[in-house]
């Protein structure tokens, strides 16, 4: 009998595809005419912009403002009211995507009309309107990212999550594991997914427990429940951002004196250290939220991080201003830097305290910082800090399943960083370049940068009869090789089994024992019926 996995029936796959894109109900005659109207809105929008760019036509619109303004205001109030009613919501659900896009553009045209009319009243109104529009955008943009993200592709996230678990060998029954224990373990993985993205249909549990994975649709994954858990962080972050922008660019200033054009002056902050600290925090936070939005990794924790960064930036610049004798320009620069990187403040305070009192404060920098790993940027460091991973040892012992589920970072990247961290943890802090070549650099010259690659290279060297040459890569002060002890210590990390299963190097054998006659390495794993044993290292020992 063939061991080939049972394929998903074509009719079931087709039903799953149809569940994601159900055909809308037939629209009535009035609804069809309304859809036709909104579908031509983009064309009318282009005409409207052209009209505003022609001065005679713009003057005509202004002269007719007594008629145009009531119509615009009526449309801005009545149409949203209708759309909030049950009949409007039902029509909106059944309408085509082009209709909904036209409706959005229609409201944008109404907004542009109001702005154009008010801005033509004089410099003060231009100043107020431009600043008001800018404040509305910068205050609501972070929160808007979340409400756009809330319609996440939950079904695709579940499919990808299950594929990654299967590749790690976590969905299969391991050697010497009871079926009931395996069932509880696999249910735990699915419950972790439910805790973040909402409940799953019973058939998903049944399929995963029976070892039969299909293509799941929205009907199988239910609704997204993260809205309730993220609403408060999003709201608090929006309030803090709005407060910061209202302090930086007050929406109304009756005593404003125009020294430059209203447009330039409307977007010019007064420039105090607190304002610059807030701008630095907003500068970093907006980029971070956008990256998380693109990676489908946007959640409540991201907005908690935004609020925390703003609060720390303001408190930091208050403290620095109170104890520092720096000039105004340096204070402004410090405020912005503290907003972007709040941790820099502690380093500055540490140096000031050391000079003033001769004492050394505890350092916030680890001897094995997470930045030592290849491919990490400041954005990745901030994201990993949210998962309580602040240094290399933390990464080496991290829960890989949790990282795959929570971070939405590429699985191969998570595996590679964990693989590197296991090796770097066992090697320990490395000396500075001027103190001589470090063990990490010596291994890199031979193409070894991860724990699994070191074990694989060691096994290949023994098979080819080059074990003595390989052992000379790392030698102690007494000339003895450090390789045997290093390989044994790497095997003690529980994540190494999952990494080798992922990379397909789980056949790499342990170093042969020192008993006489032990010439060839024995196979560490003898697969049985396709089963994977996470505890094979201890069993083989």
- Residue pLDDT tens, the chain, 541 long: 444 444 444 444 444 443 444 344 444 555 555 555 555 555 555 566 666 666 676 677 667 766 766 776 666 666 666 666 666 666 666 666 666 666 666 666 666 666 666 666 667 777 777 788 788 888 888 888 877 765 545 667 778 888 888 888 888 877 777 888 888 888 888 888 877 666 777 888 888 888 777 776 666 555 444 444 667 888 889 899 999 998 888 877 666 666 767 767 777 787 889 999 999 999 999 999 998 888 878 878 889 999 999 999 999 889 888 877 778 888 888 889 988 888 777 777 667 666 665 555 566 667 888 888 998 888 888 888 888 898 999 999 998 888 888 887 888 999 999 999 999 999 888 776 555 578 888 898 888 999 999 999 988 888 888 888 888 888 877 778 888 889 889 988 889 988 988 888 776 656 654 444 444 443 333 333 443 343 333 333 3
Is 51 within 8 Å of 248 (Cβ atoms)?
no
Long-range contacts of 259-265 (CB under 8 A, 24+ apart): 262/123, 262/124, 262/126, 262/127, 262/130, 263/126, 263/130, 265/127
Output the six-digit token pair for 433: 């370049």
Integer Rg of the chain from CA: 31
pLDDT of residue 396: 93
Can you tell me which residue has the tokens 């954005």?
379
Q: What's the pLDDT score for residue 425?
A: 92
Q: Which token pair is 21?
A: 């894109």
Residue-level pLDDT at 537: 35
Q: Give the count of beta carbons closer than 10 Å to the beta carbon of residue 228.
A: 10
Residue 213 CA to its chain's centroid (Å):
27
Phi and psi at residue 169, to the nearest 5° = 80, 20
Place of tokens 């997470």: 370
Q: What is the DSSP string of 64-107?
A: THHHHHHHHHHHHHHHHHHHHSHHHHHHHHHS-HHHHHHHHHHH
Q: Give yes or no for a contact between 370 and 398, defined as CB atoms under 8 angstroms apart.
A: no
DSSP codes of every residue in 418-433: HHHHHHHHHH-SPPPG
Predicted pLDDT of residue 286: 93
What CA–CA distances, in Å, run from 254 to 124, 127, 129, 159, 251? Answer: 9, 11, 13, 57, 10
First-to-last C-alpha distance (Å) of the chain: 35
pLDDT at 226: 46
Residue found by looking up tokens 């929406």 in the block: 251
Give the global pTM: 0.61
CA atoms within 13 A on the CB side of 247: 16
Measured CA to CA, the distance from residue 1 to residue 465 in angstroms comes to 40
Structure confidence at residue 26 (pLDDT): 47
Task: Give the pLDDT confidence score for residue 280 in this predicted structure.
Answer: 93
- pLDDT score, position 66: 67
Instruction: Please give the pLDDT value at position 206.
Output: 83
Integer Cα distance of 323 and 384 in angstroms? 33
């Amino acid at each position: 009998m063939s061991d080939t996995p049972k394929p998903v029936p074509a009719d079931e796959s087709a039903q799953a595809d149809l569940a994601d894109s159900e055909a809308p109900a037939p629209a009535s005659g009035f609804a069809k005419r309304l859809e036709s109207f909104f579908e031509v809105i983009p064309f009318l929008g282009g005409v409207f912009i052209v009209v505003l760019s022609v001065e005679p036509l713009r003057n005509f619109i202004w002269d007719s403002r007594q008629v145009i303004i009531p119509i615009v205001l009526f449309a801005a109030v009545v149409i949203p009211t209708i759309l909030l009613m049950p009949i409007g919501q039902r029509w909106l659900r059944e309408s085509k995507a082009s209709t909904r896009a036209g409706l959005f553009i229609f409201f944008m045209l109404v907004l542009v009309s109001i702005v154009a009319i008010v801005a033509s009243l004089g410099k003060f109104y231009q100043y107020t309107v431009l600043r008001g529009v800018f404040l509305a955008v910068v205050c609501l943009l972070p929160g808007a990212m979340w409400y756009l993200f809330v319609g996440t592709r939950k079904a695709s996230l579940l499919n990808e999550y299950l594929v990654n678990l299967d590749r790690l060998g976590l969905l299969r029954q391991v050697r010497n594991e009871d079926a009931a224990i395996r069932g509880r373990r696999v249910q735990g993985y699915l419950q972790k997914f439910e805790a973040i993205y909402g409940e799953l249909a019973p058939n998903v549990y049944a399929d995963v427990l029976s070892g039969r994975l299909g293509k799941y649709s929205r009907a199988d994954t239910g609704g997204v429940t993260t809205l309730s858990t993220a609403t408060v962080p999003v709201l608090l972050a929006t309030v803090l951002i709005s407060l910061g922008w209202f302090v930086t660019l007050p929406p109304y200033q009756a005593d404003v004196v125009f020294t430059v054009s209203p447009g330039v002056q409307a977007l010019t902050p007064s420039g105090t250290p607190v304002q610059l600290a807030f701008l630095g925090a907003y500068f970093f936070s907006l980029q971070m939220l956008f990256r998380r939005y693109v990676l489908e990794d946007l959640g409540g924790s991201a907005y908690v991080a935004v609020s925390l960064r703003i609060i720390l930036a303001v408190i930091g610049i208050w403290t620095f201003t109170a104890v520092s004798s720096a000039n105004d320009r340096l204070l402004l620069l410090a405020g912005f830097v503290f907003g972007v990187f709040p941790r820099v403040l502690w380093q500055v305070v540490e140096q000031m305290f050391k000079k003033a009192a001769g004492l050394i404060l505890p350092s916030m920098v680890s001897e094995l910082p997470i930045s030592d790993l290849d491919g990490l940027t400041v954005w990745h460091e901030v994201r990993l800090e949210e998962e309580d991973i602040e240094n290399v040892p933390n990464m080496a012992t991290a829960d890989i399943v949790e990282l795959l589920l929570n971070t939405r970072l590429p699985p191969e990247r998570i595996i590679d960083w964990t693989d590197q961290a296991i090796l770097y943890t066992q090697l320990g802090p490395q000396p500075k370049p001027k103190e001589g070549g470090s063990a990490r650099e010596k291994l890199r010259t031979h193409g070894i940068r991860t724990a699994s690659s070191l074990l694989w290279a060691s096994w290949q060297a023994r098979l080819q009869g080059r074990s003595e040459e390989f052992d000379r890569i790392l030698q102690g002060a007494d000339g003895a090789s450090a390789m045997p002890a290093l390989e044994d210590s790497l095997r003690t990390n529980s994540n190494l089994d999952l990494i080798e299963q992922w990379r397909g190097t789980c056949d790499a054998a342990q170093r042969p024992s020192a008993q006489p006659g032990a010439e060839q390495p024995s196979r560490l794993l003898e697969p049985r019926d396709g089963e994977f044993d996470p505890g094979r290292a201890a069993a083989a020992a």
